[in-house]
Structure 1
Amino acid sequence: MARVIHVFRAPDRFVAGTVGEPGDRAFYLQAIESARTISVLLEKQQVSVLAERITALLGEVGKRFGEANLASDDRPVPTGDSDPLTVPLEEEFRVGTMGLGWDADSSSIVVELLAVTEEEIDESVVLDDTEEGPDALRVFLSPSAAKAFAERAEKVVDAGRAPCPLCAEPLDPEGHVCVRLNGYHDRNPVAEVE
């Protein structure tokens, strides 16, 4: 079966979102352009890494090409999008490999998300239109849209369960077994030697 690459050159919306309660959330990325909507499922860590890498790439592009290049974008600047994911939510595929790049011709961050596959993925498949390989979602984002995506993605990731103040693991509503409080308490602290 031929590979399907969903390309969004000027998405109206590209966001990270979740379905479910904290501790049991499913993470999605959703691209919308005109009447076309594509949603892909991925892991929380993948959303976090993507947001971090986009921020780092924007910083690198700013250093190499100048901040003016990032600011000279004539596309509309997205405002803080806090709306939920568009429904009905139909998963196109589960994300396995992610690619990220800078397209100098369009002054865009390019995000490519490839479907999970049993076979090992050749690097040449990422950000390429080859006939062979896993299905993909490719989104071109203006620097301002990429920054807005990263900011929202970080908020979505952070909106989960609160971390334990001792071990930083997520706290569950029904309780938490903290590794830092493993039952050992030093009843006779060693006196300081003067």
Structure 2
Amino acid sequence: MRPAPGERAFYLQAVDGNRIVSVGVEKQQVVILADRLEQLLDEIVTRTGTALPASDLDNDALEQPIDEEFRVAAMGLAWDGDAGLVIIEAQAPVETPAEAEETLLEDVEEGPDALRVLIDPRDARSFVERARRLVTAGRPPCPLCSQPLDPAGHVCARLNGYHRGISLNP
């Protein structure tokens, strides 16, 4: 059974042997991560001249049960040129933006909970493709305000409560 519109949950999940870590993310965070990851990969291709096609199509279900470790507040991306791997870090909420900036993608003794994943660039490309498929499988966006359109209707802020085709004059 598919969830009702607006009830989907998004997760980033990392699996290493028997260890499974799942963190909750917002749909918009998935969109931004996919966009930034694609930009990073394209920059790597431009600088190195190495093609980075996607690895196999990723349609596997997440490992069950999904136990959310934390909700992601901040994310960071980096390229480890020596290892040839993409670094993705998802960080739990912190008290101040300065604390997030100090600890994101840094090895610190004390800091917020974080999930750091190193992945092959081809797997990162596959992630981008999968993320885009998952996001677009939801409700279509309103062409005016980009908010999701509900099956029951949509009140668009850009129309100030008015509907096209309705005359305001009697």
User: TM bucket by the smaller chain?
Assistant: 0.7 to 0.9
Alignment length (residue pairs): 164
What is the Cα deviation at residue 183 of structure 1? 4.3
Cα distance, 1:21–1:33 mapped onto 2, change above 3 Å: farther
Cα distance, 1:109–1:150 mapped onto 2, change above 3 Å: same
Q: Output the CA distance in 2 between the equivalents of 1:99 and 1:169.
A: 26
Q: 2:133 aligns with which of 129, 150, 155?
A: 155
2:74–2:100 Cα contact (<8 Å) kept: no
Whose helix proportion is higher, 1 or 2? 2
Structure 2 gap segments, 5+ residues each: none
Whose strand proportion is higher, 1 or 2? 1
Q: Output the CA distance in 1 between the equivalents of 2:127 and 2:26.
A: 16
What is the Cα deviation at residue 133 of structure 1? 1.2
Q: Tell me what 2:71 maps to.
A: 94
2:73–2:90 Cα contact (<8 Å) kept: yes
What is the Cα deviation at residue 122 of structure 1? 4.7
Tell me the alpha carbon deviations over residues 107-157 of structure 1, each in whole angstroms, 9 at most, x when there is no partner: 011001111122332533122211121111111111100000011011111
Q: Tell me what 2:29 maps to.
A: 46
Q: TM-score, normalised by structure 1?
A: 0.75
Query: What's the C-alpha RMSD, in Å, of the aligned pairs?
Result: 2.3
Alignment of 1:59-138 (within 5 A): 59-68=42-51, 70=52, 78-120=55-97, 121-138=99-116
Task: Identify which of structures 1 and 2 has the higher relative contact order when contacts are C-alpha pairs closer than 8 Å and 6+ apart.
Answer: 1
Higher deviation after alignment, 19-28 or 179-188: 179-188
Structure having the higher Rg: 1
Structure 1 gap segments, 5+ residues each: 1-18, 72-76, 189-194
Tell me the alpha carbon deviations over residues 76-113 of structure 1, each in whole angstroms, 9 at most, x when there is no partner: x7411212221111001111111100001110110011
